[in-house]
Structure 1
Amino acid sequence: MLQHKISRPGVLLLAASLLLGLPAHAATDNADTVASQEKGLQIATEQKQRDSGWGDSESKVLMILRDASGNESIRRMRTLALEVPDDGDKSLIIFDEPRDVRGSAFLSHSHPTAEDDQWLYLPAINRTRRIASRNKSGPFMASEFAYEDMASFELEKYHFRYLREEEVNGVMSYVIERIPADPFSGYSKTIAWVDKEHYRVQKIEFYDKKQSLLKTLVASDYQLFQDKYWRPMLLKMHNHQTGKSTDLVVEELQFDLGRTAADFDVNVLERLR
């Protein structure tokens, strides 16, 4: 006599569906959703943990702005960053060239659960302006990066869901959906490709509030620092709706320069040169 073996998870799902008055497939779908959310969070957590402990850094970056016709304008800037235990990172971007933006500076204090604090100093008016939460979806210094893109990656800012695995940039990657927890975010969701070996972001798609693809970020030319920390030397952001794009080319990157929180105080903005 043939006997059919039923796995224990199958029995539990069937029992749960009967108790809740749901069809069995509904209970299965719900379990699959929970599992995909847990796996998405696990991948994001591993990504965050692998990039912890770097301390502080400073880089020289070339920003290349392109309009829909391919015309380019170039800016040079310095980026300072400070890792903050039990909080989000602090960053300071100072523009050196061309003349019309020289001395402009952007300061960001990221937070996992509270609203990020961001300020923009414009020397032409000798004034520091705080970026309101409702305006963080706006373009950063006329680029295709938004102000919210310039904040550090914090797990608490998103709800995650694992989607699939596929190859991108020549490497096998996890594909995870990230839904912003901030109601003022300019995105309905982002989809990130994170490589399976080193947990480095290879690509991110950004979707607007209408669920339409807005722009795509591709990270490449990764280099290893201090035998532990991977950094992309090239970030390319393409806006699908306008045809514009912005490249960030890292020309130089150093760690452990002794930066402290005092270097990222809002009062330093108007003293920068």
Structure 2
Amino acid sequence: MTGSFAKLLAATAATWALCTTAFADVTLPPESDPAARGLAIVEEMDARDRGWGDAYADLKMVLTNAAGAISERQLRFTMLERTGENEGDLSLMVFDRPLDVAGTALLTHAYVGKPDDQWLYLPAVKRVKRISSANKSGPFVGSEFAFEDLAAQEIGKFTYSWLRDEPCGDRECHVVERVPAYEGSGYTRQIVWIDTSDYLLRKIDYYARKSSLLKTLTISGYENYLEGIWRPRELEMSNHENGKKTQLIWQDYRFRTGLTENDFAPASLERAR
């Protein structure tokens, strides 16, 4: 996974974690060059999340509507790190419960310089549906995450500009604007908060095409794996327009389990259940 969060999700996501040890002090371009400074910040974040190979996690998805009613889903998430120049990471999400969504699966092949490939398997009709660029801004199975939110957030997918440094909770963060450079995004821009000390992603604000604040993703509960690979325990996406939110609670992380690209082939989707 290259990028940030989630490479989620994700990113994924793009959001998955970073190393706080074995890195020298970071020297950034001056504030007078916000584009170079913003790019350097995300490159440092990306450099601290390499070498994990593949990953597996169990997930609980908690959906809360505007009235406060809650529903839960259980799913599995796997990822494979790719290091090719124009290649992003591979990811697969498979729902296990409840029964009405069990077997539903989303496969993502992320890229740099061209649209990501995404396929959705719907067990009720036993059909694999390719997600077009025009539909990637739509909600994923009723959650507040869009399909594009669940693809690896590769550096080359955005342009960047440093805005400021400011407190974020009890920490200090770089605040960077990133503008999607890929086709079909539902966002005009995103504002990301990156910790100045450990370069962990803490928050993302998503702005819609009408330039209003649409959603906010908060990332919390980071834990250290593999002596320097950090992963969050919770992602919470809040929708400011409809009052809904979706939490992804990560459990039982495992790394270097032996996954290969064959495990992320579209033909494998029908066997994912």
TM-score (norm 2): 0.87
Is the CA contact 1:169–1:202 (under 8 Å) kept in the aligned structure 2?
no
Instruction: Describe how 1:137-176 pairs up with structure 2 within 5 A.
Output: 137-176=137-176
Aligned residue in 2 for 1:7: none
Between the aligned partners of 1:185 and 1:153, the Cα distance in structure 2 is 12
Instruction: Describe how 1:208-247 pairs up with structure 2 within 5 A.
Output: 208-247=208-247
Query: What amino acid is the match of 1:127?
Result: R
Residue 130 in structure 1 maps to residue 130 in structure 2: yes
Aligned residue in 2 for 1:66: 64
Higher helix fraction: Structure 1 or Structure 2?
Answer: 1
- After TM superposition, the runs of 4+ consecutive aligned structure 1 residues lying more than 4 A away are none
CA RMSD, 1 decimal: 1.1
Between the aligned partners of 1:153 and 1:228, the Cα distance in structure 2 is 20
Secondary structure of 2:220's counterpart equals strand
Instruction: Describe how 1:105-116 pairs up with structure 2 within 5 A.
Output: 105-116=105-116
Aligned residue in 2 for 1:39: 37
**Aligned-pair identity (%):** 44
Give the number of the structure whose alpha-carbon radius of gyration is greater: 1
Query: What amino acid is the match of 1:100?
Result: D
Aligned residue in 2 for 1:267: 267
Between the aligned partners of 1:233 and 1:271, the Cα distance in structure 2 is 28
Aligned residue in 2 for 1:48: 46
Query: What amino acid is the match of 2:111?
Result: H
Between the aligned partners of 1:181 and 1:170, the Cα distance in structure 2 is 32
1:149 offset after TM fit, Å? 0.3
1:33 offset after TM fit, Å? 8.7
Query: What amino acid is the match of 1:265?
Result: A
Between the aligned partners of 1:107 and 1:62, the Cα distance in structure 2 is 18
Aligned residue in 2 for 1:10: none
32-41 vs 191-200, greater mean Cα deviation: 32-41
Is the CA contact 1:88–1:112 (under 8 Å) kept in the aligned structure 2?
yes
Between the aligned partners of 1:121 and 1:177, the Cα distance in structure 2 is 34
Secondary structure of 2:268's counterpart equals helix
Query: What amino acid is the match of 1:246?
Result: T
Q: Provide structure 2 residue ranges, at least 5 long, that are not aligned to the other structure.
A: 1-29
Equivalent in 74, 77, 84 of residue 75 of structure 2 = 77
1:183 offset after TM fit, Å? 3.9
Between the aligned partners of 2:261 and 2:195, the Cα distance in structure 1 is 32
Secondary structure of 1:99's counterpart equals coil
Higher strand fraction: Structure 1 or Structure 2?
Answer: 2
Secondary structure of 2:205's counterpart equals strand
Q: Provide structure 1 residue ranges, at least 5 long, that are not aligned to the other structure.
A: 1-31
Secondary structure of 1:110's counterpart equals strand
Between the aligned partners of 2:127 and 2:121, the Cα distance in structure 1 is 6
1:34 offset after TM fit, Å? 6.9
Secondary structure of 2:221's counterpart equals strand
Is the CA contact 2:114–2:182 (under 8 Å) kept in the aligned structure 1?
no
Secondary structure of 2:231's counterpart equals strand
Aligned residue in 1 for 2:92: 92
Query: What amino acid is the match of 1:111?
Result: Y
